[in-house]
Chain A
């Protein structure tokens, strides 16, 4: 489902020297598989997710999702591909404050180029216990509710892969477990593969497959 081969990415330092961030020989995730990517701060976890999502371009290599090499896609097609086949859950939830819970989820369908299915968004929110909070704005939702809306938004297009970037980093331990449970159950129910980035041993300990980024990413080992 997801295959990274010889992916390299580096940034330029102020003195013009290249600073390698990613150097991944091979990483593969199967359909519906749930994988944790663990690593210390600054080892390139977020850059890796952005590269997989096509938000950041790589210097070289192949990133294949469902058989499509997104590195070779033009930007517009990459955007459309991301909207259709990828879900994103952020560290800070990143709900848009001007929109209601339902609108935030519907927004996830807006850029796919397909007809917006509001009933699907409602159904997802009802499944995760937010049927009574559809018209509430994020400021009127609790932290746990906001995170559930973020998960619903990521899954609304029935993506192939959900990328979760430190989703438990900013919540207390009580909520941390709820979020992990929600993500795992939702992905299982929707048959969505998940790549979850975390530095928390409590979270990573619950997954069968845990990859250390330093093992996968040769650039991180050098750093």
Chain B
């Protein structure tokens, strides 16, 4: 009969105590799994969300972190905007020689339904045509695709929009539906004119899955989105309220807003790769040039700083806490086995009388400690992933992080040998007690 079976029978004999100590270990390990996996997924999500372009340009009033959070992750309050004329520097002005693509972003509206809140990003169709959202394992660009029946919105169809895959699945919005953006990022703002959905993005695994993308031209025409015309400037009415509207006109009789009345919140800039230094030159020109209207940030650097400066230490604190929980669980195993040693000394003495050596009975106790830790640990791994799976929809809706039940982290593979080592350590004291059992005394009824 193997030591494993003997240890298992001992555990069965003390089923309640064994279950409770195993459960405490399972909870500790489950917490550790949650911390490890959520951290890794968060890091992956943050890193993958800021791919496909080199710089983000936004107003100079505000921090670079705020610029990245609002533009990339659709989180936080949008920054003070920059003039449209600055954006045109990238398309036909001094920065155009370094620019492969410049995507304007106008932020500040949102969409609310069924308790969910999603940001509305006003942009140009170029977002889905000229930049990628990352790269696959082979380094190939991942380009945006639309779910069947959908397409990108058209520049000259002002009130068209596309929605991210998560928005579509959570709200039920589909091609042909309309939605009304709410002014501001709270739910109490005024409702704007409706946009028609012409496409649903295929899942990208980025925060863009959780946003609605409206045509910038239509966004400018919404109430409170246009600058007041400058004094003396030529103005052009964007809508003639008295003219009869052609029912087939996709723009409902509206005309584009004059550029002088336009602003953008931020710009995604994909630099040319001719010399490899374009991004650096552009960064320098924007941040160190005479015109300090805007700032440029490399999102990857900001994300790395965010991860190292904020998420890293939080993860460390959580890991230390979960390790402490596992240590407490280990001590409970020690206490449980150690407390049972006096009642087990008789059984140990019988085994010794049957020929078990001191090291054999010591080994049986160690195996029991390892078995308890391993079973508790494996239950904890399972429990942790079940919780991940169950909490996934909630976390995805509120934090925008996609979690799956089967998401494993390589660090989890260290748990098992770690637990074996730890169990050997905590089992050593009761095992030593077994080693020292006075057989004659125990057999005669002494404890």
Contacts and interface: CB of A to CB of B under 8 A. Distances in A.
Interface of A: 46-47, 50, 53, 55-56, 75-76, 79-80, 82-84, 86, 88, 90, 94, 96-99, 103, 106-112, 116, 153
Q: Give the interface SS of chain B, mostly helix, strand, loop or mixed.
A: helix
Contacts of A50: 439-440, 443
Nearest to B11: A98
A79 B1 contact: no
Given A94-B346, A98-B10, A108 B439 contact: no
Nearest to A153: B354
A108 B354 contact: yes
Contacts, number: 78
B1 A107 contact: yes
Given A47-B440, A97-B13, A111-B360, A53 B1 contact: no
18 contacts: A47-B440, A50-B439, A55-B440, A75-B358, A76-B359, A79-B360, A86-B355, A88-B353, A97-B347, A98-B9, A98-B10, A98-B347, A103-B1, A110-B6, A111-B351, A111-B356, A111-B357, A153-B354
Interface in B332-373: 346-347, 350-360
A96 B439 contact: no
Contact of B354 (A46, A97, A111): A111
Interface in B417-440: 439-440
Contact of B355 (A46, A47, A84): A84
Contacts of B360: 79, 111
B1 A55 contact: no
Given A46-B440, A50-B443, A79-B358, 7 more contacts: A55-B352, A83-B356, A90-B353, A96-B9, A107-B354, A110-B356, A111-B360
Contacts of A84: 355
A83 B1 contact: no
B352 to A, nearest CB: 7
A79 B13 contact: no
B357 A76 contact: yes
Interface in B4-27: 6, 9-10, 12-13
Contacts of B443: 46, 50, 55, 90, 94
B444 interface: yes
Nearest to A109: B1
Contacts of B356: 79, 83, 110-111
